[in-house]
Structure 1
């Protein structure tokens, strides 16, 4: 077949594109079994990106920058030895006590009838403070979530940095016989839209209290799915298990599709999850009712602020006192916090 001379540049460009893709795949050290996925856009073409066939595992000695780099590329990362053995042992005991007070779920679709859940972990455990304060977790959350926004005040454009806050906490124990959870995005709680909103709303952590294996229902994820828009549905065939040893942790953004796997073993698997969210969004778990005042007052100051007792640069969350918009944190110094807000003791 004979081609016109003007056609050859098209074939040249296609060959150059294929060559660039292969070079990029090699440079990113993508596994040979990795596949491509297409993300539809509002333009007249499809954008191609790589979908790794597993989450990358980094050592506990990794830097925040290394952790963030992998999360931004794949949507999540596994941190080996996130907790030391002493802290892991302490967390295991606290979580087991909390789960003992809990019952199995009442529906088999999302919650699971062979799964126990216990929330209010800042009131029930002491180890959750160490999880929240871990430099890799909070450091990555700050980097990913606290990206300044330009806001006009009159004719002056000022950068405003959002706060971060604890959105939810939960111990989850998946028992033998529990089926796969539907794949979902955790930022659905905010009805977050992709890519229209243009930023992440949440950084989630799942700490392995026991070993996470494919057989016992390790969390399944679709690496790279944080780049998808809202038109593409997730498929279980695209998911992979985030396998990790007890004491390790998986960090992933709220836009990553994931879900608990099927427990086909003879023992339960247990994990602890919590989130850092943008501070101007409503908390998924009501921390004001979940953590009693007396418990809250003995927590570290930074944790108190993360639990919602703080105002941001936009004054969200303020309390009026003597005509001033005041941070609620200042009232925690009082012996009678509710009294400072005018609540009579006889009504409590």
Structure 2
């Protein structure tokens, strides 16, 4: 598990370079279990490559992963990744999207892009989304390792779509996780090898943002009820700063059977005032 110094180091790298690599973040047994689960789900559900060039005609992307197997629950909650995300964003952040990225042989390189360019904010801006790329295979030059342009999160504009850029290949061993500011210019590499490259994209956003995946509707309630509480909160069964996301002044986590959620900010204010008045009497 990362200590405070490690968390700060990775957060500083994201601030300065736009990305960091947490080497050996996931244990080999977990990595192997995740790969086997992906292969089994592809077979059982007859899932094939994506249908658009950006997503990759030879890339299998499985969305809404939390509904397929309990082993995937470990990814958004991982003790070597989530603390860094919470340090850069805050502890009320949300899971924005979580999908597999399995590149088959012959997959062409993805255009260089950044993940926040459709949001109307002037660049550069604070990190609003962090993406964790989990390497379930060794990321190599020849099998589609992600290409990045360090420091590009500070550029005043987004990349020109389809233009070639001088990028760095983010090679890393299986079990490592690259965590980056989603304003960083990046793109999947070309897989010129004869094997598949397994990976996850697990993105987080601020609690005041709309998630990329609508997890509250996409995940059946009976499945979400079994999640650990922190995963329920990450999926949106939570209220940001006691104000944003409530249902009739109640924390939506109560819909999953939790007895008590967070107080709304206005209720918390009255509770605080009452405590101060009581203390003044003593």
TM-score band w.r.t. shorter chain: 0.7 to 0.9
Give the equivalent residue in structure 2 for 1:180.
109
How many residues of Structure 1 are paired with residues of Structure 2 in the alignment?
255
What SS is found at the alignment partner of 2:76? helix
Kindly report which structure 2 residues correspond to 1:148-159, keeping only aligned pairs within 5 A, or say none: none
Give the equivalent residue in structure 1 for 2:119.
190
Give the equivalent residue in structure 1 for 2:278.
none
Kindly report which structure 2 residues correspond to 1:53-72, keeping only aligned pairs within 5 A, or say none: 63-72=6-15
Kindly report which structure 2 residues correspond to 1:20-99, keeping only aligned pairs within 5 A, or say none: 63-99=6-42
CA deviations over 1:222-259 (Å, ceiling 9, x no partner): 11101101166485442111111111111101111111
**Separation (CA, whole Å) in 2 of partners of 1:231 and 1:277:** 19
Kindly report which structure 2 residues correspond to 1:164-243, keeping only aligned pairs within 5 A, or say none: 164-195=93-124, 198-230=125-157, 233=160, 236-243=164-171
What SS is found at the alignment partner of 1:63? helix
**Separation (CA, whole Å) in 2 of partners of 1:231 and 1:289:** 31
Q: Describe the shift of the 1:277–1:180 C-alpha distance in structure 2 as closer, same or farther (beyond 3 A).
A: same
* 1:273 CA displacement: 1.1
Say whether residues 1:107 and 2:35 are aligned partners.
no
| Structure 2: gaps of 5 or more residues | 259-282
Give the equivalent residue in structure 2 for 1:138.
82
Give the equivalent residue in structure 2 for 1:250.
178
| Structure 1: gaps of 5 or more residues | 1-58, 147-161, 335-348
Give the equivalent residue in structure 2 for 1:300.
228
Q: Which has the higher strand share?
A: 1
CA contact (8 A) 1:95 1:125 kept: no
**Separation (CA, whole Å) in 1 of partners of 2:121 and 2:214:** 19
* 1:86 CA displacement: 1.4
CA contact (8 A) 1:77 1:251 kept: yes
What SS is found at the alignment partner of 1:139? helix
CA contact (8 A) 1:189 1:284 kept: no
What SS is found at the alignment partner of 2:35? helix
Say whether residues 1:119 and 2:63 are aligned partners.
yes
CA contact (8 A) 1:184 1:258 kept: yes
TM-score calculated relative to the size of structure 1: 0.69
What SS is found at the alignment partner of 1:86? helix
* 1:89 CA displacement: 1.5
Q: Describe the shift of the 1:125–1:229 C-alpha distance in structure 2 as closer, same or farther (beyond 3 A).
A: farther
**Separation (CA, whole Å) in 2 of partners of 1:67 and 1:125:** 30
* Higher relative contact order (CA closer than 8 Å, sequence separation 6+): 2
**Separation (CA, whole Å) in 1 of partners of 2:64 and 2:30:** 19
**Separation (CA, whole Å) in 2 of partners of 1:255 and 1:219:** 15
CA contact (8 A) 1:311 1:317 kept: yes
* 1:107 CA displacement: 2.5
Give the equivalent residue in structure 2 for 1:333.
257
**Separation (CA, whole Å) in 1 of partners of 2:133 and 2:158:** 27
TM-score calculated relative to the size of structure 2: 0.84
**Separation (CA, whole Å) in 2 of partners of 1:99 and 1:218:** 22
